[in-house]
Amino acid sequence: MALRKQDIDNNDEQTTQTAKRSRITIDISPELRRRIKLAAIENDLSISEYVGQILEEAVPDEVSTTQRQRHQIPDDFLDKCIECANKSYEILRANFSRTLQR
């Protein structure tokens, strides 16, 4: 039996795709599993493909997640932190002095 180049290339492609996938395990109720299975069948997909599509749509890319988390820190932020620490110190010192005087 002769091998064709595409037979070999397709096999390499499948191996690459398999290597790039990860397995995840979650606990769900039997009712939810049944609903997922029915929805997957209705969409002519395996459960894995169906859940994978949902997660791809619901979970943002790393780039967009990082961009959303970045924001400008106000210029006076450090000054406000120092002011707050000084006030806390004064309150603690005053309460400690009152405790010693009792």
Return the ∠ at Cα 53 (arms to 24 and 48), rounded to 5°: 45
Q: Largest Cα–Cα distance of the chain, in whole Å? A: 99
pLDDT tens, residue by residue, 7-61: 555 555 555 555 688 899 999 999 999 999 999 999 999 999 999 999 998 988 7
Q: What's the pLDDT score for residue 27?
A: 94
Average pLDDT over residues 63-79: 73
The whole-angstrom separation of Cα 52 and Cα 75 is: 43
Residue 56: C-alpha distances to residues 12, 53, 74 (Å): 25, 5, 35
**DSSP tag of 2:** P
Residue pLDDT, tens place only, 82-97: 999 999 988 888 887 7
